[in-house]
């Protein structure tokens, strides 16, 4: 009997891997658990992904990128609302909306991200930090970092400031996950403003 062609099977396998990592962590990921979660034969997972690193790379690419994921949203919001730090004063944006300080817009984005579900943040950071021990993930994680720096850097005086902001955002979000405390808008805004030089 001929095998039925299923063009969406690869995507279902990736989605299943993402669900497993989100709910149980990378330690629970295996070809067997992914096949069961995706509802596909075990051979399908090894057909599409020779090793778990291949599956993790595809998962990280989808989480970080598909299509460019959360960074696309951040890019659009920053372009529409944030005044470049170098300007130093509120500038008119497109339409009647005034541009706001970068620290305010970044705080809004982080708060929205945090309220979107800690499971999703946990998933993204678990995949991102897995690159520390899995070299196959490092290019994807580095590209994610570079993209964040590029997007935020369009609104800072220089690339160095953008890099510090990205590191700070990562640190604040990781602390949020580790402590399970509520998002403290005032503290986050104040911390970001110290880097941007805004009051």
Q: Where are the domains of the chain?
A: 9-50, 67-196
Contacts of 116 (CB under 8 A, 6+ apart): none
Tell me the fold of 9-50: Arc Repressor Mutant, subunit A (1.10.10)
pLDDT reported for residue 37: 97
pLDDT reported for residue 28: 94
> Residue 58 and residue 11: Cα distance in Å, rounded?
9
Contacts of 34 (CB under 8 A, 6+ apart): 13, 16, 17, 20, 45, 55
pLDDT values of the chain reduced to their tens digit, one per residue, 199 residues: 445 667 799 999 999 999 999 889 899 999 999 999 999 999 999 999 999 999 998 988 888 765 455 678 889 999 999 986 654 444 444 544 578 999 999 999 999 888 877 777 888 888 888 889 999 889 888 888 898 999 999 999 999 999 999 999 999 999 998 888 899 999 999 999 999 998 7
67-196: CATH, from 1.10.3720.10, 1.10.357.10, 1.10.540.10, 3.40.50.1980? 1.10.357.10
pLDDT reported for residue 127: 81
pLDDT reported for residue 98: 73
pLDDT reported for residue 85: 62
Per CATH, 9-50 and 67-196 having the same topology is answered no
Q: Which residues of 139-155 are buried (b: 16+ CB within 10 A; e: fewer)?
A: ebbeebbebbbebbbeb
């Amino acid at each position: 009997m001929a095998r039925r062609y299923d063009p969406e099977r690869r995507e279902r396998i990736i989605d299943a891997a993402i669900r497993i990592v989100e709910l149980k962590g990378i330690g629970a990921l295996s070809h067997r658990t992914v096949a069961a979660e995706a509802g596909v034969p075990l051979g399908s997972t090894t057909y599409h992904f020779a090793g778990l690193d291949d599956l993790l790379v595809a998962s990280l690419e989808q989480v970080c990128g598909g299509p460019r994921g959360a960074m696309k949203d951040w890019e659009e919001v920053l372009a529409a609302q944030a005044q470049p730090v170098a300007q130093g004063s509120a500038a008119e944006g497109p339409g009647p909306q005034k541009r706001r300080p970068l620290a305010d817009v970044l705080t809004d984005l982080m708060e929205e991200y945090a309220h979107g579900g800690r499971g999703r943040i946990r998933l993204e950071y678990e995949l991102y930090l897995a690159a520390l021990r899995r070299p196959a993930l490092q290019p994807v994680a580095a590209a994610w970092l570079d993209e964040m720096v590029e997007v935020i850097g369009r609104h800072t005086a220089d690339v160095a400031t953008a890099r510090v902001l990205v590191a700070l955002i990562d640190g604040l979000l990781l602390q949020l996950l580790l402590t399970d405390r509520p998002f403290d808008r005032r503290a986050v805004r104040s911390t970001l403003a110290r880097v941007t030089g805004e009051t």
